[in-house]
Structure formats: structure tokens, C-alpha cells
Amino acid sequence: MFDAFTAPGRFHRGNLHTHSNRSDGALSPEEVCRHYAGAGYDFLCLSDHFLPQFQYPLTDTTPFRTDLFTTIIGAELHAPQTHLGDFWHILAVGLPSDFAAPAEGETGPELARRARAAGAFIGLAHPQWYGLSTEDGLSLDAAHAVEIYNYTCELLSARPDGTAMLDQLLQAGRWLGAYAADDAHFKAKDSLGGWVMVKAERNEPALLLEALKEGHYYSSQGPEIQDARIEDDHLVVSTSPVRSIVVGGHGARSAAEHGENLTKARLPLKAFENSWFRLTITDHAGKRAWSQPAKR
Ligand SMILES: [Zn+2]
Ligand SMILES: [Zn+2]
């Protein structure tokens, strides 16, 4: 829903998906944290690959927290197997430090359920990048959200997109959020390209995690969604200057406004009867921001 805009607190900028040299990234955890703190981020989840060749890291970033910057403990989880026979990539933000390695025979969907039960926010990472099917997406029933944009997948394979997966799952009656992330490894300029803006009363890991699970956030590559609320069967939106403000839902249903330096729109929701819908804005450089899905 658009509760992010009415919930108390302020927006905190964070990256949920990143790697350090505890797995296959180039920088140490301290350097990664310093990089994001220096770029003005409020928080980071270092999500190293939870694999035996890296001794199942749950990278401890707590020493790098400051008054202005915090971290959430997490990992990118892997287990067999997608319909193509590949290992799953599952983002788990907010894992306990004693989270156990996958058991013999544990599947991706089972591992995701165990991580969710342990308190994590579960993300269906980069579905387009490794060719997940809608059936794969449906089987990962512990997911809170789909990675709607992955900056590193954009750079490395021009397959950054999660919109098709998200919309197929919504269409199938699932209710998931949408988060953007860097998935930075720092072997290229692969950071600061996609992030979440999480509404919370304070910049504390537990509050940020709770807000993620509640859907109190939006995602961006640049533009800001400053407000979005339903009034008199319209979606009333305020943004930083953009060229388009679009709502899309079930099938081909959509409503849009286009223009130069748009900062406001009032979009009719009549077309979205009995349908989910979600907001996407695009600025003049082609950069986007995405809301969570909502219902009328
Ligand atoms: Zn991955
Ligand atoms: Zn990754």
C-alpha cells in the first residue's frame, strides 16, 4: 500500500544487497560500509554469498555502525534448484548470527522459509538475470518482495528487471513488495545505482527491518516519490521533477501523466476495480522510482 507516506518517521536510504571480500566482492566489509556511509546512505545490509567455499559468512558489520549509519546483518542464500537446474539466489535481510548452513537436501524455497521464520525479510533476487520462471517465483512462497531492479545485473548482463516477475506473481494472487538494490561487488563501478527509501521513526536495524516487512518503503534509481495517497478514487502523487507518472495494474490496465518537470499528478483509479496497481515514475534521465503495490 502507500502506507509509507502516512507512517510516522522519515525516509532512510539504504542498500539491501551487496558483497564484500567475505565472499566474492573486492572490498573489505569496513570499506564497503565506509563507501555507503560516505555516499550519504543511512544503512546497509552486507549480503555475502552464504556458500561453503566462503565458510557460510554472516558478515558482522556491527563495528562499522556510527551515529549516522547503521547496518542490518544478512546474506544471499543459495540452495538447489530452479527450473533451469541452477542454485537459487535468495536475499535474506535480518538474519540471526547463528543462522545454520543449509541442511543436506534443503531446497531454496525451504531455506527461504527457514530464514523468514528466523526473522529475515526475504527478497527474490534478480529474477530476470538467471531466467526464473513464474512457477519458480510462485514456489518461493516465503518471499516478502521481488528485486524490481538490480544495478549490477544491468551492468553485467543488461537483465536488471523484476517488474515482469512481480506483476505475474501479483496477477496470480500473491502479495509482494518491490525493492531496488545495487548487488555491488566493487570490481566495477557497480554501486549507488538502485536503493530503497524506508520510512522509520529512527535509523535502527530492528525498526528498518520491521518497516521493510510492513512495506513502508519505496525504491529508486534517482527520483523521489514524496507522497502518494488515494483520495476520491484518484491516486494523488507528489514527486521530484519527472517526465512521467504511471500507474499500472491487472493485465494492461494503466493510467498516466506525462510532461516536462512534472511534480504532481492526480490519476483516476476507476480502471483498477478489483485489481492491484503500482506507481512508477521516470525522470528526464530515464531513471525510475517504484512504489509498493496497492489495492483500491
Ligand atoms: Zn545473486
Ligand atoms: Zn548478490
**CATH number, residue 72:** 3.20.20.140
Name the CA dihedral angle for 138, 85, 127, 269, rounded to a multiple of 10 degrees. Answer: -30
- For residue 257, the CA-to-ligand 1 centroid distance in Å is 35
CA of 95 to the centre of ligand 1 (A): 17
Residues lining ion ligand 2 (Cβ < 5 A) are: 76, 183
Last residue of a domain, one of 160, 192, 219: 219
Q: Which of 4, 82, 90, 87 is nearest to 47 (CA)?
A: 90
Residue-level pLDDT at 17: 98
- Which residue segment(s) compose the domain that 170 sits in? 3-219
The residues of the chain scoring below 70 in pLDDT are 1
Residue-level pLDDT at 136: 98
CATH number at residue 256: 2.60.40
The pLDDT of residue 2 is: 82
Same structural domain, 60 and 189 = yes
| One domain, residues 267 and 289 | yes
The rounded Å distance from CA 76 to ligand 1 centre is: 7
So what's the pLDDT on residue 25? 98
Domain endpoint, select from 198, 219, 240: 219
39 CA → ligand 1 middle, Å: 23
Q: Ligand 1 centre from 234 Cα, in Å?
A: 38
**In this predicted model, what pLDDT tens digit does every residue of 134-189 receive, in sequence order?**
999 999 999 999 999 999 999 999 999 999 999 999 999 999 999 999 999 999 99
Residues in Cβ contact with 85 at an 8 Å cutoff, skipping those fewer than 6 apart: none
Ligand nearest 17 Cα, by number?
2
Domain match, 177 and 33 both = yes
Which residues, 6 or more positions from 257, have their beta carbon under 8 angstroms from its beta carbon? 244, 245, 265, 267
Distance 126 CA to ligand 1 centre (A): 7
Nearest ligand to the CA atom of 75: 2
Q: How far is the CA of 291 from the centre of ligand 1 (A)?
A: 23
Instruction: Report the Cα–Cα distance between both ends of the chain, in Å, rounded.
Output: 9
Q: What is the residue-averaged pLDDT of the chain?
A: 97
Same domain, 110 and 251: no
CA separation for the pair 130, 146 (Å, rounded): 14
- Looking at residue 296, its pLDDT comes to 80
Query: Exposed (0-12), middle (13-18) or buried (19+): which is 236, by Cβ within 10 Å?
Result: middle
CA of 89 to the centre of ligand 1 (A): 5
What's the number of domains the chain is made of? 2
pTM: predicted TM-score of the whole model, two decimal places: 0.98
**pLDDT at residue 1, rounded to an integer:** 62
Q: How far is 128 from 112, CA to CA, in rounded Å?
A: 19
Query: What is the whole-number distance in angstroms between the Cα of residue 49 and the centre of ligand 1?
Result: 8
Q: How far is the CA of 1 from the centre of ligand 1 (A)?
A: 27
CA–chain centroid gap for 79, Å, is 21
Residues 195 and 63 in one domain: yes
150 CA to centre of ligand 1 in angstroms: 10
Statement to judge: residues 26 and 173 lie in one domain: yes
Do 23 and 170 reside in the same domain of the chain? yes
- Residue finishing a domain among 188, 219, 250: 219
Phi then psi for 212, rounded to 5 degrees?
Answer: -60, -45
* CB 279 within 8 Å of CB 290: yes
